[in-house]
Structure 1
Amino acid sequence: MPAAAAAVLADNADGTVANDDEWDAADAADITLTGSTATSDAAGVSVSDSTVTITAAGVYRLPGSLDGRVVVDAPEDALVVLILDGASVTNGDGAAIQVVAADDVAINLAAGSTNTVTAASSADADASAAVYADTDLTISGTGALAVTDSGNDGLKSDQTDNATKGYVWIAGGTVDATAGADGIDAQTDAVVGGGALTVASDDDGIHSDTVLVIAGGDVAISRSTEGIESTDEGVNASGNAASGGMGGGMQDTGEKLTISGGTLLVDAQGGRSRLQRDDRDDRRGGHRVRPDRQRQRCPRLQRRHHRLGRNARRHRQ
């Protein structure tokens, strides 16, 4: 794990994460998805019509297709790993994968697999995302996952009972998030430490209430109003406290954005200042932020942002 990601995750509650060395795929119990229902011999799994409920810690492998939902409602000290192995879960009325209770939950993308999670959740619903976790959430593996929620967020961790928990950690895999609201929404920290993440959203591409770290992997935001925790801009790290609108009136309330590795491409088409790449003749939109660059606090980011905007305008002239 990159050092920057490890440092941020260690600050969360008890500092636990769902590392790959904490579980073994060989121990996985199968939950076979079969259209409108599913089958499993695991003691910690129950199936009622089109709802699969996991009530015990463990590793579970999910192949097949389900028109319904998968719910994790395990003890508060439970580590639950869902191995998506050619899985397709679709729910037209709420979250497709919902974590009600557990300690840490990991979604592992099996090697060579292509997986889809599709939902139409509501912002007013208790579970307002295609993948909704009331716990910390880790995405790992080397497979692919396409997450779509036409009504609200794509991936969301929303631990409302504990302000020190609720991170989303992208540790690996190829993740494509399409959302009617935020692509990724983290109650505390959003961490990208590996893999490839593509986001097309109608609101924030990646949103974090506390710290956002890109410490590896590739991140491409093709559509958003606010690319990465911004205020109508591409990249920003600002608190909710403000006086006098945008600019120097923003107060530092501890939010932080760190980019220490990987590749980031943002096309903030809905933003006030649309960034253009000025290192080559390219009109696709977006600005590539090189590794080992760190920006904190709103005023510094805004000054850099507007300076880049002026350079882009000169370039077009």
Structure 2
Amino acid sequence: MGRSHGIHAEPTSFGLKFALWYDECGRNIKRLEDAIEIVSVGQFSGAVGNYAHLDPEVEERAVLDAGTQAGARRVFLIEEPVAAAIGAGIDIAKPNGNMIVDIGGGTSDIAVISLGGIVESTSIKIAGDRFDEAIVKYIRRKHNVLIGERTAEEMKMTIGCVYPREEPKEMEVRGRCLMTGLPRVFTVSSEEMIEAFEEVTDKIVEAVHSVLERTAPELVGDISTNGIVMTGGGSLIYGFDKLIESKTGIATRVADDAISCVAYGTGKALENLDAMRDNPLSYSRKRQML
């Protein structure tokens, strides 16, 4: 909880011990099966999983194998932005373009979706966890005070913003002065949070611009009409939709229940396994194992 020394461990970004990861995938699917009390003889009919980015030759195959070992007759993978779009209530089967900006805990996925599949996309390893890190670094640099991760999280939730608030907020923060080693109490404003987050938000905005620049003009026109939809916990930081809108000139909104959109979308896809199997246009780069 940030009050004692410990070993800080995070999932690896670019490398995995696949034997361990493979086994854990199977165990997690089995736990899910038990948790929802699926009653079946031998196998359950199908499973759907979402992913931000998996290597098709190794990681996707490991997930598919884990699903079948857990008892599924069919396993489908859909990309996380597609699941987020479905969960946000977007009709992805239509021939017009929609843009999803999904800011999760470890990655931000930006995608243009049309005809049930992803037309252009990018995934960057900059997301919700980087905002906490940015606060810790900013407070250390600006105030010469060391704060813990829990304090940074509280600051993000209380006064965090990436766009000016109509009514600025302040928060009393406690940490350890790096000059004296003694406790220090000081006040931080919401305006400072904009400065603290600037490097992170600049990279996310840059990724949005990159996807728009690679998208066909007709689809960009659709996006201008339909707007950009934001999902994921990171999208709930105050003013993120306003920031994206100000930087792109495209109306932007945060989806209802943004945190759960990917889960909802994956569930809806599970309800339509036949459509996933039969429609060749849907769910681009989907993988199926029979």
Q: TM-score, normalised by structure 2?
A: 0.24
Higher relative contact order (CA 8 A, sep 6+): 2
Structure (1 or 2) with the larger CA radius of gyration? 2
Give the structure with the higher percent helix. Answer: 2
Q: TM-score, normalised by structure 1?
A: 0.22
Give the structure with the higher percent strand. Answer: 1
